[in-house]
A and B are shown apart, each in its own frame.
Chain A
Amino acid sequence: MSRLLRFLPLALLALVIVGLVWRLANPSDTAVRSQMVGKPAPSFTATPALPGREGLTSAALADGTPKLVNFFASWCVPCIAEAPVLMELKRRGVTIEGIAVRDRPEDIAVFLQQHGDPFARIGADPQSKAQFAFGSAGVPESFVIDGRGIVRLQHVGPIAAGDIPTILVALEAAR
């Protein structure tokens, strides 16, 4: 018994090493999942992010048509990659509402001019308040909201061209 016991530390070490190698090969998912999925969209009021444009309130989200709420920022590099995909979604008839996180009107105007403007309304979120209300942890991030104003899907990170079917299916289901 003591002979076998002698190898126990070695076996434990081997176990630890196997665990470490496995974790290196399969990095854990660090995306923060919002707990708001399945619940009514939180109440918030975002003033217009650009002069002459409409801001965004939670009341406007429950008007009967499903929507995509997109958190973005002019200083966010992945948002540039996402912009053409949002334009494609808009072309396919998706209503996209924008929330500009920690941004200035002049910077947003330049960003939209350069990369396209897919947004129906754009609310300003200078202190990330709407972001916290949604349980969101960064930009870009998007939420599918159904016609009754209930959060149906969270997409963390930029929507890639390959994600379009998933988003469209979620929007269809939210009808």
Chain B
Amino acid sequence: MNRLLLIIALLSATPAFADSTMPPAYWANRQLPDARQEAQAVSLMEELRCLVCQGQSIADSDAELAGDMRDLVRRRIATGERPAAVRAWLVERYGNWVSYRPPSAPVAWPLWLAPIVLLGAGVLLARSRLKRRNAQ
């Protein structure tokens, strides 16, 4: 009985999210007719951060604002705008934070260099270990 009540309560509960009652934007969950443009839009959407659920990309997020941003990306790509220009437009408003692709600015150099440095350190470590073993 209690379990039934719980199930009914869970089914009737609305998500804690405050969402509007409006339908999703036209291009939020619709593919562009041009396959090449759609591919461009999708690869950009996978690299844009959702403003609501901040760990997700707008391609993955169910938030309304993410749907509206997908609509914005598809509309702009459909008019022939380059994905880099759309990304720049958003970065201008929200900062680099909104893009998952790190910029090539000096501030991101440690990030790009880290794999090389770590690989180098690993090689050095392995070499000294192997040398020691051979000496035994």
Contact = CB atoms under 8 A, between A and B. Distances in A.
Interface of A: 30, 32-36, 42, 73, 75-77, 101-104, 107, 126-129, 131-135, 137-138
Contact of B25 (A30, A127, A138): A127
B65 interface: yes
B22 interface: yes
A102 B72 contact: no
A75 B20 contact: yes
Interface string B20-37: 111001000000000000
Contact of B92 (A35, A77, A127, A137): A35
A147 B65 CA distance: 30
B93 A129 contact: no
A38 B93 CA distance: 12
Interface of B is mostly: helix
| Most B CB within 10 A of own CB, among A104, A126, A132 | A132
Nearest to A132: B72
Given A34-B94, A127-B71, A134-B93, A102 B51 contact: no
Contacts, number: 61
Contacts of A134: 93
Nearest to B68: A128
A32 B94 contact: yes
Interface residues of B, number: 22
Contacts of B51: 32, 137-138
Interface in B46-95: 51-52, 54, 64-65, 68-69, 71-72, 90-95
B93 A77 contact: no
Given A34-B93, A132-B90, A73 B68 contact: no
B77 to A, nearest CB: 15
A129 B21 CA distance: 17
A40 B69 CA distance: 22
Pairs A-B, 4 closest by C-beta atoms: A135-B93, A137-B51, A128-B68, A102-B20
Contacts of B19: 75
A148 B65 CA distance: 30
A133 B22 CA distance: 20
26 contacts: A30-B54, A32-B94, A34-B94, A73-B20, A75-B18, A75-B19, A77-B18, A101-B20, A102-B22, A104-B21, A104-B22, A126-B22, A127-B25, A127-B68, A127-B71, A127-B72, A131-B65, A131-B68, A132-B68, A132-B69, A132-B72, A132-B90, A135-B93, A137-B52, A137-B94, A138-B52
A138 B18 CA distance: 10
Given A102-B64, A137-B52, A138-B65, A132 B22 contact: no
Given A73-B20, A137-B52, A138-B52, 16 more contacts: A32-B97, A33-B95, A34-B93, A35-B92, A75-B21, A102-B20, A102-B64, A104-B21, A127-B68, A127-B71, A128-B64, A131-B68, A132-B72, A132-B93, A135-B93, A138-B51
